[in-house]
Amino acid sequence: MATIDVLGESVTRREQTAATRDEYLRVLDAIATSGLSANVSVKPTAVGLAIDPALARENCRTICTKAASLGVFVRLDMEDSSVTEATLRLVLELKAEFPSTGIVLQAYLRRSLGDLDRMIAAQMNVRICKGIYIEPRRIAWKGHETIIGSFSAMVEKHLSAGCYAAIATHDEECVEKALATIDRLKLRPDQYEFQMLLGVDPLLRRTLIESGHRLRVYVPYGKDWYAYSVRRLKENPSIARHVVRRIVGLGPAE
């Protein structure tokens, strides 16, 4: 399975948001035409959230309307803390109109465990990740073990409430704790999924699939790749070796 992300964020011109919106419409047509088991992930600031929330809502409604007609799920990605609340409000509005809509929550933000209550009340499909934006300590946990603890608590809380969780991590400790929760709750494979970034840790990906778990690969593409790539490298410098291997024509590292 896959989720497709058209790269781009924090745009400042309305015409840029229209170009991103139209590219998502083309992606949705391609998913339907090819019969892919795929959905889309949309960054709200790429469709205008930082310009005008009404613009972002209009663009998202256009995307969601098209997706609904094709039976494709749409997830709003979560960006830095300056737009957290606006993104949550936007997805709750969209969810009321388009049931097949979801969101991302970042475990390193201190607020996220509380935000999960609002998502559970809406029966929201939530992707739970650790988080990669650089945030101040007053709003974000900093210790590695603390973040893992928050991630695991969020997975436990969401799944225990009977909601669908997308468990997005390459961290084996997070995976192990999630698997323990899944086992304890005796969940079926269609009640959750794991998610991983394209090209990162294919061995862990195959191991999960071979153990009977569903896994969705996050596939980013597009011309506006620079900001995304820099953030990913800052988050995990080891990703650089995957890039280098591709450049010299080698396959992904195990």
- Whether 85 maps to a domain, the answer reads yes
**Alpha-carbon span 92 to 212, nearest angstrom:** 32
Residue bearing tokens 């073990």: 145
The yes-or-no answer on residue 77 being catalytic is: yes
Which CATH number is 224's domain given? 3.20.20.220
Identify the domain containing residue 118 by its residue range: 77-247
Average pLDDT, the chain: 93
Active-site residue identified among 77, 201, 205, 216: 77
For 24-35, the pLDDT digits (tens) are 999 999 999 999
- Whether 210 maps to a domain, the answer reads yes
Name the band, by pLDDT with cuts 50, 70 and 90, for residue 244: low
For 40-80, the pLDDT digits (tens) are 999 999 999 999 999 999 999 999 999 999 999 999 999 99
- Whether 195 maps to a domain, the answer reads yes
- Least Cα distance to 43 among 127, 157, 136 occurs for 127
- Whether 66 maps to a domain, the answer reads no
Residue 240, token pair as written in the block: 């650089």
Q: Are 159 and 182 in contact (CB under 8 A)?
A: yes
Query: Does the pLDDT of residue 150 top 70, yes or no?
Result: yes
For 205-234, the pLDDT digits (tens) are 999 999 999 999 999 999 877 766 676 566
Q: How far is CA 190 from the centre of its chain?
A: 18
Residue 235: Cβ within 10 Å count: 14
- Whether 87 maps to a domain, the answer reads yes
For 72-116, the pLDDT digits (tens) are 999 999 999 999 999 999 999 999 999 999 999 999 999 999 999
- Whether 204 maps to a domain, the answer reads yes
- Whether 19 maps to a domain, the answer reads no
The yes-or-no answer on residue 127 being catalytic is: yes
- Whether 67 maps to a domain, the answer reads no
Count of domains observed in the chain: 1
**Alpha-carbon span 29 to 183, nearest angstrom:** 37
Active-site residue identified among 127, 201, 205, 216: 127
